[in-house]
Amino acid sequence: MKPAAALKRFEAFLRKKALRMTQPRREILLASWRTHRHFSAEEMYQWMQEQELGASRATVYRTLNLLVEGGFLASMNNGKGTQLYEHILGHSHHDHMICIGCGKVFEFRSAEIEAIQEEVAERHNFRLTHHVLRLEGYCSKCRPSSL
């Protein structure tokens, strides 16, 4: 999805919540669309400071929460207590592998894993609405020789 379309949808989402589209909110959405990597709220705050865009740390955290609530961003814990964000609007579902050595995030898709999840949910008469799959281990650069 193009940034202009995402902005338009975000404005509509904010109106439904009786909130305004402020310049800091606009810049946070645009910054999240400019990157194709996973980022933390602190990284977003630093980006806002580097560009002198006037977004406070609280505004960054609140806006990221709004973007997740509205389905613009997804968030996941990196396994070390930090939430990572990525824009998802217009992107297909995928899962993640996180290197516990360097923190690098690898995205992957697996039809087999998706099918198994659906089968397990059906077996338990459970209706899936969404899921987050995070695999942790070591990338080829960080893997200890003993593994």
Question: pLDDT digits over 77-117, tens only?
Answer: 887 888 999 988 777 788 889 998 888 889 899 999 999 99
Contacts of 121 (CB under 8 A, 6+ apart): 127, 128
Phi, psi torsion values for 142, nearest 5 degrees: -105, -10
pLDDT value for 27? 94
Task: Quote the pTM value.
Answer: 0.80
Residue 60, pLDDT above cutoff 90: yes
For the CA atoms of 142, 32, 51, 55, the dihedral, rounded to the nearest 10 degrees, stands at -110
**Pick the residue with more confidence: 2 or 21?**
21
Residue 46, pLDDT above cutoff 90: yes
Of 97, 24, 36, 129, the closest CA to residue 67 belongs to 24
The answer to whether the CB of 109 falls within 8 A of the CB of 70 is no
pLDDT value for 37? 87
pLDDT value for 78? 82
The answer to whether the CB of 80 falls within 8 A of the CB of 67 is no
The answer to whether the CB of 87 falls within 8 A of the CB of 97 is no
Residue 66, pLDDT above cutoff 90: yes
Superfamily of structural domain 95-137: Ferric-uptake regulator, C-terminal dimerisarion domain (3.30.1490.190)
The answer to whether the CB of 14 falls within 8 A of the CB of 22 is no
Distance, in Å, from the CA atom of 146 to the CA atom of 88, rounded to the nearest integer, reads: 37
* Domain covering 3-87: architecture: Orthogonal Bundle (1.10)
Residues of the chain with CATH 1.10.10.10: 3-87
Residues of the chain with CATH 3.30.1490.190: 95-137
Contacts of 43 (CB under 8 A, 6+ apart): none
